[in-house]
Amino acid sequence: MSKQVLDSALRRAVDALLRRQSASGEWEGEVVWGPMLAAQYVLMCQITGSAIPAARKDLLLLQFRRTRLGSGLWGLHAHSPPYLFVTTLVYVAARLLGLSRDDPLLVPAAHFIVAEGGVLRIPSWGKFWLAMLNLYDWEGLYPLLPELWALPRRLPVHPRRFYCHTRLIYVAMTVIYASRHQIPRAPVIEALRAELYPAGYGGFREHRGALRAGDLCARPGPVLRCVYALCRSVERRHSAAARRAIVERLLEHIRWEFRTTDHTAISPVSGLLSLIALWIHQPDDPDLHRALVRFEGWIWEDGRDGTRVAGARSASWDTAFALQALAAVESHASTEDSMARGVSFLTTQQIRRTFPGVEENFRIDPRGGWCFAGVWHGWPVSDCTAEALLALLAAPGVERDNEALREGVEFILRCQNADGGFGSYEQSGTRWTLEWLNPAEMFADSMTDRSWVECTSSCISALAAFRQRCPGVLDGRILRALERAARWLAARQRPDGAWPGAWGVYLIYGTLFGVRGLLAAGTPVFHPAIRKACRWLLARQRPDGGFGEHHSGCLTGVYVEHRESQVIQTAWALSTLLEAHEPDWSAIERGVDHLLRTQDSNGEWPAQDWTGVFFRTALLDYTLYRRYFPLWALALYKNRCEQRLHRDDVDRHGADG
């Protein structure tokens, strides 16, 4: 391909990315999930008596229309099969917003619910939401005992050891369960009872363990069922006074969580439940009312897709990657002002203090870390911190605060696990997996914050870059951490050469980070592990030069080829091959050709299947991924071309000499 074509594509891609930067310097794309959270927002408002303006009601219904599957039902995400769980929540929310059961939007869902025999087999989280709405009986749920939080903290199964998202969800659910709160029966509730239970309202206790197979990812196993039986026995004999004291402590834990997250909570999933928990026990709680106002920060709203609740906010994450992509292309475009504003924003997003009460609330010290969203979020993450550090270190011409960088490194080191890998928000609470205790049913790998390939790779890269920038600072600790992390990462490589990803789809994403981490740790490009990874990628290049992996492999653990090449995954694969100095130049050029062919005249790339994922079943669309990852790959390609030309010139002059 000609240099002119490549330079033109890079200029257009840079301009397109710069157009996405806000006036305050950050990049943030919407993290799109599905209609579940919008539906739960409606249900929360119904339970707490919070008014929804008429205009927003219309936009919520628009969101439900926009997220219907081809069947007219709703799933966990845009590419999932229909879920009884999500379809039921959306159906109930739409009815509470004023739609009749005969509205065309709801007719397919009504037929689906009847065909399923009603909602008695909805997963446990669905039963929980319906119970609060007086559409299910609390006797039909497994007990959620507050007493579990009073167990000795040293126990390996204490709930404090759960993955932070999971434990905060269950803190709120436990508090709500203890109250057995249900909203009053109103005409719409009576109508919904008839619609959701075609055989009659009842049968809850005998259907406690009835679960629709199509909604499940992790069916309760025999050990968990025994735990449930033990909990039922405790539920019949618990002390009311002791329970009230435990609930009060858990409520204070919820308040602390709101106060340390600018009243947003770690996520809207736990946040919605926490709002309800506070409202039930203290409707005039000032933290509750502040949190109701701040919940708006999770909401995206427009006339195209309506009102939706994001699964996450991503300003720090997106800004860090956008800056690294621009740094790779810096010599080819004038981006100094944009990068300076991005660096300025990112610098302000570091948490520079320790929160009082960290240990009592089961947290590690957040000082020095960066959050996925922004400093307001209060929950720093190891790889978000690492990518922010890498962005600050890569940006040219920037004056850096070495003390702030050191604090970032300290936070990263606090996230290293005993096995050498890195967790996301914190160290793993246990050396053993607790998946056998997983009560969520629709999600997997959600019980412990264990070591992850992507987090470990990013942390290795940041530690190595910091060590080069600030030699001698924390040197012994960093060296030991790097050695242990590199061993863990190398051991996670599969026999076929790939690495499994946890936060992206799936083996292509994991392999990008597996290779990047080993290279940053000092592994030479000719090492067998690096070459095996490249061979694995090359074997999966499609005839059009692109790469495409289907998300179903996240569940099966095997590579599943997509029906068509995916731009983001092509960029990931190309970046891996280029960083590993893959000698098969024709394969690289075919991949680059694919990116050039699929770029539009505005410099952007088309929206395709979603490539983000969490807990193996929940796909996410990181809408800026298709803006900066292809740009980054093309920049790496151009840099490699220039290196090859320079090497050829040196060889030629040497021969002439």
Active-site pick, 318, 383, 449, 609:
383
How far is the C-alpha of 224 from the C-alpha of 219, rounded, in Å? 10
Per the CB < 8 A criterion, the answer to whether 376 and 261 are in contact is yes
Q: Which domains does the chain have, with CATH numbers?
A: 3-29+311-656 (1.50.10.20), 36-309 (1.50.10.20)
Cα separation of 554 and 562, whole Å? Answer: 13
pLDDT averaged over consecutive 10-residue blocks of the chain (657 residues)? 89 96 97 97 98 98 98 96 98 98 98 97 97 97 94 91 95 97 97 97 94 92 91 90 96 98 97 98 96 97 97 97 93 79 97 95 96 97 98 88 96 97 90 84 90 98 96 95 98 98 97 98 98 98 98 95 98 98 97 98 96 93 98 96 74 58
**pLDDT value for 304:** 97
Q: Which bin fits 368, alpha (ψ -120 to 50), beta or left (φ > 0)?
A: left
pLDDT of residue 647: 72
User: If we measure between CA atoms, which residue out of 305, 380, 314, 315 comes closest to residue 31?
Assistant: 314
Amino acid residing at 203:
G
Contact 92, 133 (CB under 8 A): yes
Alpha carbon of 461 to those of 251, 332, 393: distances in Å?
40, 24, 11
Sign of the alpha-carbon torsion through 369, 371, 377, 379: negative
Q: For the chain, how big is the Rg over CA atoms in Å?
A: 26
Sign of the torsion formed by the C-alpha atoms of 67, 71, 75 and 80: negative
287 is catalytic: no
Relative to beta strand 612-614, strand 618-622 is antiparallel
Which pLDDT belongs to residue 608? 97
454 phi and psi, to 5 degrees?
A: -65, -45
Q: To 5 degrees, how large is the angle CA 164–CA 160–CA 388?
A: 35
Nearest to 573 by CA among 513, 524, 614: 513
Task: State the DSSP code for 363.
Answer: -
Give the E-state strand segments of 563-651 in sequence order.
612-614, 618-622
Q: Where are the beta strands (DSSP E) in 21-119?
A: 31-32
Q: What is the pLDDT of residue 655?
A: 57
Could you give the count of Cα atoms lying within 13 Å of 421 in the half-sphere of its Cβ?
Answer: 20
